[in-house]
Amino acid sequence: MNVIYNLPGLFIAIIFHELAHGLMAYWLGDDTAKNAGRLTLNPLKHLDLGGFLCLVIFKFGWAKPVPINPFNFQNRKKDTILVSLAGPLSNFIIAIIIVFVLSLNIITNAVFFKILFITLWYNIMLGIFNLLPFPPLDGSKIVASLLPNKIEYYFYKYERYLYMVLIVLIATNIIDKIMSPIIDVILNLLISIIG
């Protein structure tokens, strides 16, 4: 039954996150995502089966990355940062919208209320998780784009080792200890607005 409650929140968080990346890239001159059919709300275009199962089971996972060609941007570094921020920002915007809806006290159905609250949690979690500075997360692209070109080159050259760091952090549950307090602070702040 919990999976049924979780699925809408997962779909909303993942789909809008990936769509936001693709739309921002398109607005900045890169039509790679558009040509790949990723500017869509169709969940099948965005879901990675392994990442989705990890999200359901472990509460951490990933979607199918939106293809981006940063060399189509006018300003590669700045625009890469904007595209990377677009995904997490979409999650935070959705979280704020949900809090606004809940604050109106118009949701009287307990099941719908629970689904909305879980959707709120997933969007906060996904937004924060993707800002961590480990490949392949959005935060790593932001960090890399802020580095001088020579250091950026080595960052991408050796990013596969940073992948391993992220996997270890997830496997040892350290990532949960890092993120849980942040999620709780944001969630409690937003709940105080409702309450």
Residue-wise pLDDT for 62-86, tens only, equals 778 899 999 999 999 999 999 999 9
What pLDDT score does 123 carry?
95
pLDDT at 77 (0 to 100): 96
Nearest to 14 by CA among 123, 93, 141: 123
Query: Which segments of the chain have a pLDDT < 50?
Result: none
pTM given for the model? 0.90
Summarised one tens digit per residue, pLDDT across range 33-61 is 999 999 999 888 888 877 777 766 766 66
**What does the alpha-carbon distance between residue 195 and residue 174 come to, in Å, rounded to a whole number?**
31
Query: CA–CA separation, 60 vs 81, rounded Å?
Result: 23
152 is catalytic: no
At residue 59's C-alpha, the angle toward residues 1 and 104, to 5°, is: 70
- What pLDDT, on a 0 to 100 scale, did the predictor assign at position 4? 76
> Which of 13, 15, 16, 18 is flagged as catalytic?
18
CB-based contact 124:92 (threshold 8 Å): yes
